[in-house]
Amino acid sequence: MNISGAAAKLFWGWQALLRGKLSRYYNDSLYPPLFIEREVLKRTVYLDHFPHQLFSVRIHLADHQNDPHLHDWFVTPAACLHVYPSLQDQEVGQYAALVYANCGRVENLKWRLPYRLPSFHMLELVLIDKPEVIAERRNELEKVARSILVGQGLKVSPVTATDAFFLGDRSGAQAFQKLKQLKKEFVFEHDGGEVALASINHHEDFFTSRFGIRSGKEIAHSLCLAFGIERLTTASLAVWGDRKEGWPAEFRKYASFS
């Protein structure tokens, strides 16, 4: 989807605002490539659970004998998936990064365009630390995320959900996750439909154990706080309109730099 005019200012303004509001929680930034390797998706079991959601790419390469080989790559389905292989078998102590990625997924359309797109941009705060620290941060960041959205005039409701990235579609696994409230979505209602503008996902040791990531001597836990930039842009246009004078005063400060 091409973005221009007021939508472009909102698109870049939201990124600037989120970076500013979350600055105290991260000390590094990551901008991963569009493509991700099959091995990463296999290890995270995304490929096993959701092959139908993935865009695959066949890249033609030639070795020194000029024999063609076909290597399977995929469009990144979730920004945080690039973090774990980069930390494989490391003792990180604590890790805190803001990850910005162009992602792509094929999903059942729950809403019409432009809220659910095959290609979209995610800004994710990814934290890896001791289990007790991650649990504390989850509770804190849930309040922070809602405050950011409501503070800009977007009425959202926190809804307990399930994380398709690592539990799959098994009803037992999803029910267990809901019971533990490991995933919350911040749902925006508009024009008879609803869509998640952001979500907070407590992965426990699901990813870190698969990549041997430790905090001290124990396997670390991880969480991510994810925002959909195109969804925020569209919701803002619906609520604020396309004239900058009608946008929240605080947001205009960030949009002025976009």
What is the per-residue pLDDT across 75-89, written as a single tens digit (0 to 9) for each? 999 999 999 999 999
- CA pseudo-torsion sign 143, 257, 247, 10: negative
Q: How confident is the model at residue 111 (pLDDT cuts 50, 70, 90)?
A: low
Total length of the chain: 258
Q: Which two structure tokens, joined as six digits, stand for 130? A: 């001791």
Q: Which two structure tokens, joined as six digits, stand for 111? A: 């809403």
Q: What is the pLDDT of residue 171?
A: 45
Burial label, 258 (beta-carbon count in 10 A; 0-12, 13-18, 19+) = middle
Least confident window among 20-29, 69-78, 87-96: 69-78
Tally Cβ neighbours within 10 Å of residue 191: 9
Residue 184: helix, strand or coil by DSSP?
strand
* pLDDT over threshold 70, residue 167: no
* pLDDT over threshold 80, residue 248: yes
Give me the CATH topology for the region 5-34+77-255. BirA Bifunctional Protein; domain 2 (3.30.930)
Q: How many helices (H) and strands (E) does the chain have?
A: 10, 12
Q: Are 49 and 172 in contact (CB under 8 A)?
A: no
Distance CA 149, CA 232 (A): 9
pTM for the full predicted model: 0.88
**Amino acid at the residue 23:** S
Q: In the chain, pLDDT over 90 holds for what percent of residues? A: 66
Burial label, 135 (beta-carbon count in 10 A; 0-12, 13-18, 19+) = middle
Q: What is the pLDDT of residue 250?
A: 95
